[in-house]
Amino acid sequence: MLIGGIEAGGTKIVCAVGTTPNNIEAKTTFPTKSPSETLLEIKRFFSRYELNSIGVGSFGPIDLDKSSKTYGKILNTPKLNWRNYNLLEQLKEDYSIPVYINTDVNIACLSEYYQGAGKNVNSCLYITIGTGIGAGFVKNGEIYQGTSHPEMGHIYIPKHPKDSFNGSCPYHKSCLEGLGSGTSIKKRHGKTGEDLTKEGFVWELESYYLAHAIVNYSFILSPERIILGGGVMKQNNLYPLIRKKVSCLINNYVNNVNDMENFIMPPVLNDEQGVKGAIQLAINQREREGKSHLKHKTKQYF
């Protein structure tokens, strides 16, 4: 039996079917259109296979509170025709099999944890630095979830003393996303990161903001590994700059992050990160449900 994986991004959708994340039988990619057009495309692809469950990693924000009436709904996204659309409910209606959903960044983290740069550790934080900044955290195979899914990209960090830019976040101005996202780079310098590769000051600022955020995540979550992905991190010289700054900022205060090369790493999975994670989500959730089913059964015998 096959598992369906959907990576629902703001600009493109990737669908795949496989028995495990490492055994993908077929895959397709198409642009994100309206919800109904997109669902039709998904159906067209999946109709060729017999699926036992579907996992979805979606752009957000999504309501992930299982006790909520709007569980699975995409909330106040700038993509207006997707706002308040319940992707989870629609998929459940279309297929009578279990469907599981989580945010794109949480799914990317899950994927790296099982198959990628987090394979040999017990906990990893995955941060994506692109148009926006988001992060997901997986510990002992579980995606971290509080009362809502974290919004780690919006934490407040100290302003670089030589940065006169006020920040680009429409909600918080100078939060991490407002000062360190690809959008902020473009607004501050008038060019994208790709056109600024040799401008030292650009990367001094970028590594300054990311390093402060990484130290904060570390002092709060104490992850074993931090994986940095997304468009901005294509600038490879950022890694050594960030590692050096993180080390200075921690200043030997905690002794669980001595080896910076092993602590801060690039992702390993590329194009298939999302769908692999979506398939992994379905596997994990089914296993969990199976276990709780077993527990229930076991109880009857005692």
Closest CB 158 distance from a copy of itself, rounded Å: 5
Q: Which is nearer to a copy of itself, 41 or 151 (CB)?
A: 151
What is the chain's length? 302
Burial state string for 193-231 with b = 16 or more CB within 10 A and e = fewer than 16: beebeeeeebbebbbbbbbbbbbbbbeebebbbbbbbbb
Question: Per CB under 8 A, does 216 bind a copy of itself?
Answer: yes
Distance of alpha carbon 102 from alpha carbon 59, whole angstroms: 9
What the block records as the tokens of 142 is 């579980």
| Of residues 52, 58, 59, 57, the one with CA closest to residue 20 | 52
Alpha carbon distances (Å) from 11 to 52, 79, 112, 161? 27, 10, 22, 36
Closest CB 53 distance from a copy of itself, rounded Å: 25
CB 226 within 8 A of CB 125: yes
Distance of alpha carbon 8 from alpha carbon 87, whole angstroms: 10
- x/- string (CB under 8 A) for a copy of itself, residues 272-301? --------------------------x---
Q: Which is nearer to a copy of itself, 188 or 276 (CB)?
A: 188
Q: Contact with a copy of itself (CB under 8 A): which of 96, 251, 270, 300? A: 251
Question: Per CB under 8 A, does 142 bind a copy of itself?
Answer: no
Question: Per CB under 8 A, does 219 bind a copy of itself?
Answer: yes
Please give the full DSSP string across 191-212, using - where no structure is assigned: S-GGGGTT-HHHHHHHHHHHHH
Q: Which is nearer to a copy of itself, 23 or 256 (CB)?
A: 256
Residue with tokens 């590692």: 243
Question: Per CB under 8 A, does 223 bind a copy of itself?
Answer: yes
Closest CB 208 distance from a copy of itself, rounded Å: 11
Q: Please give the residues from 111 up to 130 whose contact with a copy of itself meets the rule CB under 8 A.
A: 122-123
Piece of the chain touching a copy of itself by CB under 8 A; list 1-9, 12-20, 252-260, 275-283? 252-260
Collect all residues with Cβ–Cβ distance below 8 Å to 69 and sequence separation of at least 6: none
Q: Which is nearer to a copy of itself, 54 or 211 (CB)?
A: 211
Q: Please give the residues from 60 up to 79 whose contact with a copy of itself meets the rule CB under 8 A.
A: 65, 75
Residue numbers at the binding site for a copy of itself (CB under 8 A): 65, 75, 122-123, 139, 145-159, 171-172, 174, 212, 215-217, 219-224, 249, 251-256, 298
